[in-house]
A and B are shown apart, each in its own frame.
Chain A
Amino acid sequence: MSLAGFVLRRLLWTIPLVLLVMLATYALLRGAGGSPFTPPEGYIGVPETYERFLRDFYHLDEPWLVEFGHYVKNVFTFDFGPSLVQRNLTVDDVVEGAAPITLQLVLLAAAWSIPLGIATGLVAAANRNGVVDRLLTSTATVLLVVPVFFVAYVAGRYVAREWHLVELGWESWETRLAASLVLALAPIGYVARLVRAAVVEELVEDYVRTARAKGLTQSRILWLHVLRNSLTPFLSAAVPLLALLVTGAFFVEDAFGIPGASSFYVEAARTRDTPVLLGVTVVLAVFVIVANALADIALALLDPRVLERR
């Protein structure tokens, strides 16, 4: 299969996947039964006239597949509809206002974690079993295993709230850098461990010996030849990496008072605000599915054997 064909196919496949996630989430949330207008304890339902408007807007009195059809049509014209619980909130506010902030946070954290993780892994592997390796590898392990809610809480409390080194929110660049670095810590540990293992395996290959015999310097061999071949396992691990970033974003946003999508998501879960839950889920699914497609394409560029296997 040609590379262009593979790229096109992989990108086109994202559309049915996103639709499938939407359908599954929709079916689950609507199939759960109960009226969406019964408020949970401690919350007040919407007034009857407004309920009438919402019922009409979401076509709630029709069969749920028809309802779903209208929903998909609305989403594809970027009209996510109003919230069922909060009178002055539309899902478009969340999708257009809050979700991009979360996206920026996650992408910034990825921008930290990938180069830092790769460098840490390479340096550790180059000094394998030495003091530097032990130090870096154990640091990476600690970064990976300490739960993100603890790291986020400590950083948010001391760096932002008590020492006032950065402001709360998403306005200043200092906050953006600090929050994304905190979010990047666990992924750095993850990438570093992955790259170290791959490089250590790669270093005993014949081509490394040949390169050394030819008189190439150690750093040239490492950064040019070995690194390229060691990126394959890292790119195949895009899924767990994304999971670390997305999960961490919930806690980092809370700790630094960042007005991202996660607080809307949790609040919507608590109040059973299905349109908000659906809207954020759709955005999340698009992001994850596109990111995975891009990782697959990068993998095919680095390792052409991937194309043969399909």
Chain B
Amino acid sequence: MSRIRVLAGNRAVLVAMLVLAALAAYCLAWPALSPHDANGVDLDRSRQGPSWEHPLGTDQLGRDLLARLAAGGRTTFLIAGGALAVILAIGTLYGTLAGLAGGRVDDALMRLVDGLLAIPRLPIAIVILVVLSVHAQTIAAMAFALSIASWMLTARLVRGEVRALKQKQFVVAARASGASWTRIARRHVLPNTAGTILIAVFLELPAVILGEAFLSVLGLGPNPPTATWGNIAQGGLQFFRLWEMLLATIAITVFVLAANVVADGLHDALDPRRAE
């Protein structure tokens, strides 16, 4: 309970969570409520500024940007969610394995993680994209490419937590009473890594969202007319329009900042030393 209280007492975290919730609600709900279709082309209304009809204006093809930004957020969240699922699966499995195995196996596995962490994510993601998709970039390919470029940090965090847990008396006791390592991992270790995994989620979420934007701005994003935040920025770049670039940047930056604040707050709340 005290952990939740620490978190709730942190005003910055509360505000950040509200911002994230508002952004998510807009992206998920607005496409259904909007009078304009996110992909509805209307060339007579190309490149308009904000108006009552189109509060955020229109893009090159006359598509309503308020609707498009929401639909884009949806796709971006979908990509980020898919990537996070894979990141958590690989990271948890790898980290638990290394942490429980210890010794040489742990050394070798962590050397590999250190080596991979040294290479910037963007080129890794680009190579994986090339490997995955023969012609078209799909949402699933994006998610998978981003997750292969980003699972390492989670693995390292989980491994650190597992190593600490392995020394705890309840694990030693379980071992002494004859429990197998798989049972210990499932029953005693994994449930206790939940906090670490939660931190990993909020650390990786902004990184994955930025990764989607980077790939899409380079022209390697989901094919048109799919809207993503990165694709909207790419439209601004392609058609020489600062406005669209700015809208996508604001959405991404607000999201990234809020997620960072939440990650920081979680860290404080879950680490007893920092909380005091």
Contact = CB atoms under 8 A, between A and B. Distances in A.
Contacts of B134: 34, 38, 40, 272
Contacts of A288: 118-120
Interface string B122-133: 110011111110
Contact of A41 (B118, B132, B135, B253): B135
Given A265-B123, A266-B218, A266-B220, A40 B237 contact: no
A153 B245 contact: yes
Contacts of A154: 242, 245
Interface stretch (B162-170, B187-195, B209-217): B209-217
Q: How large is the interface on A (under 10, 10 to 19, 20 to 34, 35 or more residues)?
A: 35 or more
Given A17-B115, A153-B245, A251 B217 contact: yes
Contacts of B205: none
Contacts of B123: 246, 265, 281, 284
Nearest to A34: B134
A147 B237 contact: no
A277 B117 CA distance: 20
B246 to A, nearest CB: 7
A17 B131 CA distance: 22
A154 B242 CA distance: 8
B218 A243 contact: no
| Majority-rule SS of B interface residues | helix
Interface string B224-265: 000000000100110010100110010011001100100000
Contacts, number: 98
Nearest to B123: A284
Contact of B131 (A28, A145, A265): A28
A6 interface: no
Contacts of B129: 269
B256 A269 contact: no
Given A157-B242, A266-B126, A266-B218, A145 B253 contact: yes
Most buried by A among B123, B131, B132, B260: B123
Nearest to A30: B131
Nearest to A273: B130
Interface string A140-154: 000001110110011
Most buried by B among A40, A247, A284, A285: A247
B120 A243 contact: yes
A147 B253 contact: yes
Given A149-B213, A247-B214, A265-B123, 11 more contacts: A25-B127, A32-B130, A32-B132, A41-B135, A149-B233, A149-B237, A239-B117, A251-B217, A265-B126, A266-B220, A277-B130
22 contacts: A20-B115, A29-B130, A32-B131, A145-B253, A145-B256, A147-B214, A149-B249, A243-B122, A246-B120, A250-B214, A251-B217, A251-B218, A266-B219, A269-B127, A269-B129, A270-B220, A277-B127, A284-B119, A284-B120, A285-B119, A288-B118, A288-B120
